[in-house]
Structure 1
Amino acid sequence: MAAGSARLRLCDARDESAALVIIDVQQAIDDSDYWGHRNNPDLEERLTELLSCWRRGNGYIVHVRHHSREPRSPYRAGQPGAEFKACAAPHERERIITKHVNSAFVGTELELWLHRHGVTHLVMAGVATAHSVSTSVRHAACLDFSVSVPADACASFSVTDRHQQHWPAEKVHDLSLALLDGEYAQVTDTHAIIRHF
């Protein structure tokens, strides 16, 4: 059993101990030539709803952006792809964390900042489900944060494995969430979180 899994529960945006963490929702995700097919065309709408809900509450909002060190990456700093998408553009006083690897906790002040503000519960959403979202969720659980993941506010890309088998984005997304659910996080959906709020 993963660290933190014994106390999973739906995070409460009304509680200042909760934070909404939006991961890597930058213009780079629109580069289909680089990434291939993306699932969940409603991602941006769900993120807009979550942010709107959170901005009416007392919880914290953290925007995690990726600045890749890979020369060809659309996430490379200074390129248009590194800019936040409009749906996830930070407002004043919302925290911005810049990372260079998959985990939002590696090489950043995120863990320290969350502890400093008394945050114990995270709602984590964004891109990509199988990569930075999954890695950050697992890391958060190992740090003993309680985590909820709204499945419809995350998205994946298709993958071709080393045997040249193609895995559609929908399957990558669903399997990634199945591996997180109950072990590292509670997988739920945007409207369940909003109803709880």
Structure 2
Amino acid sequence: MSANTALLLIDVQNYFDDPNHGRRNNPNAEENMALLLNKWRESNRPVIHVQHISNPALAHHPGRDIKEIVSPLPEESIIVKNVNSAFIGTKLETYLREYEIETLVIVGLTTDHCVSTTTRMAKNLGFTPFIVSDATATFDRVSFDGKLYGAEEIHNLALVSLHEEFATVIDTKSVLELLD
């Protein structure tokens, strides 16, 4: 991966630690995000944190804070969004083009919502996204017909729908190997 490949950390926020979200897959996703973040920092590659704040009145609510394990350094970019895509209503695309970043390694929460939406838009805008399967996660969901779908199944189906059309799905170990 080139030196200007950016690590995009999407919505890694305390909000998702609330037990009301239910059961989650990939309990070690944040540790994998931290491994990637440390490698990005060591190699001086660009790091972009995305923070979801739907309601500006709640901008200072502790649940909106980025988790300490991947806390941004002062020189790292933070893109604040209020919808699922990190590209809508933000300066993300402008930033990527200004710094000639063409490839994105995407991690974060949740796989089937903001991670998926941002990944799809990245590809549609001409970027080359890689989504890290074990550095993303989601939660169990009840469908429109009342059936419970497990977090792992939802996660895997979201990745299946992205792979080879919108992104390359890869794991943390493989990303780290590509960087060495």
Mapped partners of 1:67, 1:46: distance in 2:
24
Shift of 1:69: 2.6
Encode CA deviations 1:91-123: one digit per residue, 9 max, x unaligned.
121100000000000000000011000100000
Distance of 1:115 and 1:58 partners within structure 2: 18
Normalization by structure 1: what TM-score?
Answer: 0.88
| Aligned mate of 2:3, from 7, 12, 15 | 15
What runs of 5+ residues in structure 1 fail to find an aligned partner? 1-11
For the residue of structure 1 that corresponds to 2:134, the secondary structure is helix
Matched residues, number: 179
Paired residue for 1:59, among 42, 45, 60? 45
- TM-superposed deviation, 1:140: 0.3
The residue type equivalent to 1:45 in the other structure is: E
The 2-side partners of 1:194 and 1:138 are apart by: 23
1:29 counterpart letter in structure 2: F
1:110 aligns with 2:89: no
| 1:83-162 matched pairs, under 5 angstroms | 83-162=65-144
**1:28: which partner in 2?**
15
Which of 151, 156, 180 is matched with 1:169 structurally?
151
1:80 Cα deviation after fit: 1.0
Q: Secondary structure at 2:169's aligned position in 1?
A: strand
Identity across the alignment (%): 39
Spell out, residue by residue over 1:21-69, the C-alpha distance to the aligned partner (whole angstroms, 9 max, x if none).
0000010010121x11111100111011000110111320000000023
Q: Deviations over 1:140-160 (max 9, x none)?
A: 000000010110000011110
> Aligned letter for 1:174?
N
How far did residue 78 of structure 1 move? 2.0
Matching of residue 195 in structure 1 with residue 140 in structure 2: no
Q: What amino acid is the match of 2:25?
A: N
- Greater RCO (CA < 8 Å, at least 6 residues apart): 1
TM-score, normalization: structure 2?
0.96
Partner SS for 1:140? helix
Secondary structure of 1:46's aligned partner: helix
Q: Which residue of 2 aligns with 1:41?
A: 27
